[in-house]
Amino acid sequence: MKVCRTIGEIRAALAPVHLSGRSVGFVPTMGYLHAGHLSLVERARAENEATVVSIFVNPTQFGPEEDFARYPRDEPRDLALCDEAGVNFVFTPDAAEMYPPGFQTYVDVTGLSQGLCGASRPGHFRGVATVVAKLFAIVQPRRAYFGEKDAQQLRVIRRLAQDLNLPVTVVPVPIIREPDGLAMSSRNVYLNAEERRAALVLYRSLLVARDLVRSGEQNAAAVAEAIRALIAAEPLARLDYLAIVDDETLAPVERIDQPTLIALAVFIGRTRLIDNVLVNP
Ligand code: AMP
CB of 55 shorter than 6 A to ligand 1: no
Phi/psi for 146 (5° steps) reads: -135, 140
What are the strands of the beta sheet with 2-4, ordered from one edge? 2-4, 89-91, 50-55, 24-29, 143-147, 169-173
Cα(86) to centroid(ligand 1), Å:
18
Distances (CA, A) of 95 to 30, 92, 98, 206: 12, 10, 5, 36
The contacts of residue 52 (CB under 8 Å, 6+ apart) are: 10, 14, 24, 25, 26, 27, 87, 88, 89, 90, 91, 139, 141
Supply the DSSP symbol for 167. S
**Alpha helix stretches (DSSP H) within the chain:** 7-19, 35-47, 75-85, 95-98, 116-120, 124-139, 151-163, 193-198, 200-214, 220-232
**Alpha helix stretches (DSSP H) within 122-199:** 124-139, 151-163, 193-198
CB of 131 shorter than 6 A to ligand 1: no
Q: Whose CA is nearest to atom 8 of ligand 1?
A: 37
In order along its 281 residues, the chain shows pLDDT tens digits of 999 999 999 999 999 999 999 999 999 999 999 999 999 999 999 999 999 999 999 999 999 999 999 999 999 999 999 999 999 999 999 999 999 999 999 999 999 999 999 999 999 999 999 999 999 999 999 999 999 999 999 999 999 999 999 999 999 999 999 999 999 999 999 999 999 999 999 999 999 999 999 999 999 999 999 999 999 999 999 999 999 999 999 999 999 999 999 999 999 999 999 999 999 98
Q: Which of helix, strand or coil describes residue 4?
A: strand
Which residue type sits at 272? R
DSSP conformation letters of 187-209: GGGG--HHHHHHTHHHHHHHHHH
In angstroms, the CA 108 to CA 125 distance is 7
Q: Which of helix, strand or coil describes residue 151?
A: helix
Q: Whose CA is nearest to atom 5 of ligand 1?
A: 29
Query: Hey, which residues does 260 pair with through a beta bridge?
Result: 246, 279
Cα(151) to centroid(ligand 1), Å:
10
CB of 25 shorter than 6 A to ligand 1: no
Whole-model pTM: value is 0.98
Question: What is the reported pLDDT for 31?
Answer: 98
Task: Calculate the dihedral angle through the C-alpha atoms of 122, 130, 61, 169, rounding to the nearest 10 degrees.
Answer: 100
Torsional sign, CA 265, 266, 271, 274 = negative
Question: What is the reported pLDDT for 95?
Answer: 98
In angstroms, the CA 143 to CA 36 distance is 18
